[in-house]
């Protein structure tokens, strides 16, 4: 009866430095070792038909993290991978165009909200089914608990024939004075960004109010690549699509809306204040996670310190977020300004603005522990049966030392095992690969040296995870090694036009 659609986009800036553009907040394990995305998948799964699946619309660059999250919950899901972000209107349309039945209800919900009472959530959704089956777009609003400037608002009108209320208007995120005024109106709800409707109704509404967005999405899905159980909309068509939120593109102008209130606990986890408020405070209003320590007269602080000891002495109203490569110290009144700081760091070329020191890969992850002029040191963790691509580097040499497990190494024409405390040198331009043939993780230290150490100095020739590979085969040398191909017999610096890392 209902197909959940989980919108997995997000730039990862509002919870910086814990979230980054390469690792947005929906993937962070914020609650009892589970991510917001995992909790969302678990929450919507009971709404599925016996033979149904969840549709997850997310970024191509996050496809392995999306796949891991789905696999970790055991959910049945179809991944629609956007080559570029075009906001919620396009994301919802891609899912609606993917639906096999235009009359089967779809539930659109963000992947990064915290709703602890799954049963109450399911009851709320089911309460809107009758209205949605009759052709309404059902929106769900949260009963406000305080005058928030972080959320948009929905004002409800009179009762609807199939339950709920008609929508009088949408209110954009207000300033503090306006938010206080809205709290005095019993008909005002926070806009939760959760919608229930027939995909055909959504398409008809967009045809009327935003036909250009619909046309671009139709073209993108008509040219979609559906190999490997993934749906990849046509990149050129989607890049031409206007980026717009569903609220602006449709909801604020559509007449057939019904709003249902939700009175359970809800948060969009949109700032560090929101994260802090989900934790129980001590008698002085302080909240501590990890290795935080408070000393002296301290009040209303929040410390997130999972990696090392962080001490706050005589502080009040501070947010302190510690990560291995960046530290945020902010007054709680400035929590909403974090996004602007990230924009500033990105303009300055700071890598901490977009990615963590620890980078997830489909085979495991690596952690860049040290970097200097012409060298870099990484810790690599390779999952059981995981394998790096068959690859080579033009600008750097590498030295691998295994510290845990047994690795299978391909080096030129040779393949051999490397045990703990053994090492191997990989000269620049040499074909190589690392595999984990066993059922326990491998940990090794990689030392890189060379004139360029960027992740885009990778030429792949084979890959188990479907990432792009070079069109040319590596060249065999008389000494049994392999080197990067040279097109048309002419020397070429592979630093120019390097393939994008994946």
The CATH number of the domain where 247 resides is what?
3.90.550.10
474 has pLDDT over 80 = no
**Mean pLDDT, residues 119-142:** 96
Kindly write down the DSSP assignment for every residue of 421-471, as one continuous string.
T-EEEE-TT--EEEE--SSS-EEEEEEEEES---TT--EEEE-TT-----S
34 has pLDDT over 60 = yes
315 and 230, same structural domain?
A: no
473 has pLDDT over 90 = no
Kindly write down the DSSP assignment for every residue of 367-429, as one continuous string.
EEEEEETTEEEEEEEE-TT-BPPEEE-SSEEEEEEEEES-EEEEETTEEEEE-TT-EEEE-TT
Pairwise CA distance, residues 189 & 182, whole Å: 9
Distances (CA, A) of 248 to 139, 182, 187, 209: 14, 20, 21, 10
Question: Residue 339 carries which DSSP code?
Answer: H
170 inside domain: yes
427 and 322, same structural domain?
A: no
71 and 184, same structural domain?
A: yes
404 and 471, same structural domain?
A: yes
CB 157 within 8 A of CB 185: no
16 and 147, same structural domain?
A: yes
Looking at the 3D structure of the chain, how many domains does it have?
3
Last residue of a domain, one of 347, 378, 407: 347
Pairwise CA distance, residues 333 & 8, whole Å: 28
pLDDT of residue 1: 78
302 and 172, same structural domain?
A: no
267 inside domain: no
pLDDT of residue 498: 33
Q: Given pLDDT bands bounded at 50, 70 and 90, which one contains residue 103?
A: very high
Last residue of a domain, one of 347, 378, 393: 347
327 and 179, same structural domain?
A: no
Q: Which domain holds residue 386?
A: 358-489
383 has pLDDT over 70 = yes
325 inside domain: yes
pLDDT of residue 369: 92
Q: Given pLDDT bands bounded at 50, 70 and 90, which one contains residue 299?
A: very high
Q: Given pLDDT bands bounded at 50, 70 and 90, which one contains residue 495?
A: very low
233 and 92, same structural domain?
A: yes
Last residue of a domain, one of 297, 326, 347: 347
pLDDT of residue 243: 96
Q: What percent of the chain clears pLDDT 70, i.e. is strictly above it?
A: 94
Convert 53-71 into a string of H (helix), E (strand) and C (coil): CEEEEEEHHHHHHHHHHHH
238 and 192, same structural domain?
A: yes
502 inside domain: no
Q: Could you tell me how many residues make up the chain?
A: 502
496 inside domain: no
51 has pLDDT over 60 = yes
186 inside domain: yes
Pairwise CA distance, residues 448 & 277, whole Å: 43
Query: Using one digit for the tens of pLDDT, what is the confidence trace for 204-215?
Result: 999 999 999 999
CATH code (residue 476): 2.60.120.10
Query: Using one digit for the tens of pLDDT, what is the confidence trace for 392-406?
Result: 999 999 999 999 999
**Mean pLDDT, residues 476-488:** 60
Q: Given pLDDT bands bounded at 50, 70 and 90, which one contains residue 484?
A: low
251 and 396, same structural domain?
A: no
Pairwise CA distance, residues 214 & 208, whole Å: 10
495 inside domain: no
**Mean pLDDT, residues 228-244:** 94
498 inside domain: no
289 has pLDDT over 50 = yes
- Number of neighbours of residue 98 by Cβ within 10 angstroms: 20
Distances (CA, A) of 497 to 391, 451, 459: 16, 17, 11
Q: Given pLDDT bands bounded at 50, 70 and 90, which one contains residue 491?
A: very low
279 and 221, same structural domain?
A: no
Give me the helices (H) in 165-324, please: 176-182, 199-209, 211-222, 235-239, 246, 272-277
The mean pLDDT of the chain is 91
477 has pLDDT over 70 = no
Distance of CA 376 to the CA centre of its chain: 27
418 and 284, same structural domain?
A: no
């Amino acid at each position: 009866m209902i197909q959940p659609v989980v919108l997995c986009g997000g730039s990862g800036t509002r919870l910086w430095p814990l979230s980054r553009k390469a690792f947005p907040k929906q993937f962070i394990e914020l609650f009892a070792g589970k991510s917001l995305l995992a909790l969302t998948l678990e929450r919507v799964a009971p709404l599925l038909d016996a033979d149904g699946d969840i549709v997850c619309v997310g970024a191509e660059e996050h496809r392995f993290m999306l796949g891991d999250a789905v696999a970790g919950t055991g959910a049945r899901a179809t991944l629609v991978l956007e080559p570029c972000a075009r906001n919620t209107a396009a994301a919802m349309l891609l899912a609606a165009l993917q639906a096999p039945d235009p009359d089967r209800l779809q539930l659109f919900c963000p992947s990064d909200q915290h709703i602890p009472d799954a049963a109450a959530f399911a009851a709320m959704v089911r309460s809107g089914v009758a209205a949605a089956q009759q052709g309404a777009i059902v929106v769900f609003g949260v009963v406000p608990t305080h005058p928030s400037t972080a959320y948009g608002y929905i004002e409800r009108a009179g009762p609807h024939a199939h339950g709920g209320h008609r929508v009088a208007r949408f209110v954009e995120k207000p300033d503090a004075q306006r938010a206080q005024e809205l709290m005095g109106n019993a008909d005002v709800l926070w806009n939760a960004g959760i919608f229930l409707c027939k995909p055909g109704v959504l398409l008809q509404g967009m045809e009327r109010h935003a036909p250009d967005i619909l046309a671009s999405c139709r073209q993108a899905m008509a040219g979609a690549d559906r190999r490997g159980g993934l749906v990849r909309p046509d990149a050129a068509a989607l890049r031409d699509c206007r980026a717009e939120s569903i609220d602006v593109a449709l909801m604020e102008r559509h007449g057939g809306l019904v709003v249902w209130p939700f009175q359970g606990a809800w948060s969009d986890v949109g700032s560090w204040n929101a994260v802090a408020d989900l934790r129980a405070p001590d008698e002085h209003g302080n909240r501590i996670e990890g290795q935080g320590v408070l000393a002296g007269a301290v009040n209303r602080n929040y410390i997130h310190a999972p990696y090392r000891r962080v001490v706050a002495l005589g502080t009040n109203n501070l947010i302190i977020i510690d990560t291995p490569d960046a530290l945020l110290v902010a007054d709680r009144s400035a929590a909403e300004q974090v996004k602007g700081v990230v924009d500033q760091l990105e303009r300055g070329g700071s890598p901490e603005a977009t990615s963590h020191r620890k980078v997830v890969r489909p085979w495991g992850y690596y952690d860049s522990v040290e970097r200097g002029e012409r060298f870099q040191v990484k810790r690599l963790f390779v999952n059981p049966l995981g394998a790096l691509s068959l690859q080579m580097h033009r600008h750097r040499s590498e030295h691998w030392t295994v510290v845990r497990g047994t690795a299978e190494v391909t080096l030129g024409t040779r393949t051999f095992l490397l045990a703990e405390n053994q090492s191997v040198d990989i000269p620049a331009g040499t074909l190589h690969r690392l595999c984990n043939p066993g059922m326990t993780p491998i940990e090794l230290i990689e030392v890189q040296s060379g004139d360029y150490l960027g992740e885009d100095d990778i030429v792949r020739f084979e890959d188990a995870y479907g990432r792009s590979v070079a069109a040319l085969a590596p060249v065999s040398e008389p000494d049994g090694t392999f080197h990067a191909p040279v097109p048309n017999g002419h020397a070429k610096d592979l630093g120019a036009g390097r393939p994008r890392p994946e």
